[in-house]
Amino acid sequence: MRQSLEELIACHQKSLYTAAFSVCRNVDDANDVVQDTFIQYYTSKKQFRDKEHLKAWLLRVAINRARDISRSFWKRNRISIEECMEEIPFENQEEHDLLETVMKLPEKYREVIHLYYYEELSVKEISEILRITEGSVKMRLSRGRKFLRDVVKEEES
């Protein structure tokens, strides 16, 4: 017995999320678990005896995946940005505030700003590391700088 993915999601998404959340205790991780569970079902060729067998299999997959995430190295060793900022020695408050603002940038801008200013890499080196064109690096630097200027202007106002 196989159900369509749409039917399966409509029927089991909430219970899988609840089971995953009870193990992970994190909204994003629980959502990832649910998505991974449906992907595993979709890619699996497994046949199920009945709806109860299918539900049990889905819950088992979700709980096992949630446990894997909870036990992962990254999950155990993750610290918040606030904790990280407390650990970094700054010469003055301006440096602290600037890094805090940079950390608020979207990832694609934060990466190039960090590599360009903190690691002092050239546009060419950054394009090779990130595997994007030099034009994309320049565009991201420009947009990242604009975002930083706008944030600083707002704070000064």
Tens digits of residue pLDDT in 34-52: 999 999 999 988 888 988 8
pLDDT of residue 90: 64
25: left (phi over 0), alpha (psi -120 to 50) or beta: left
pLDDT band at 60 (very low <50, low <70, confident <90, very high): confident
CATH architecture of the domain 81-156 equals: Orthogonal Bundle (1.10)
Could you tell me which CATH number the domain at 5-76 has?
1.10.1740
User: Is 105:113 a contact under the CB 8 Å cutoff?
Assistant: yes
- Least reliable range by pLDDT among 9-18, 73-82, 116-125: 73-82
pLDDT of residue 134: 96
Q: How many CB atoms lie within 10 A of CB 137?
A: 24
Could you state, in order of their start, the residue ranges of all structural domains in the chain? 5-76, 81-156
pLDDT of residue 42: 92
DSSP state of 131: T
Best CA proximity match to 31, nearest among 57, 52, 9, 2: 9
Residue 88 has pLDDT above 80, yes or no: no
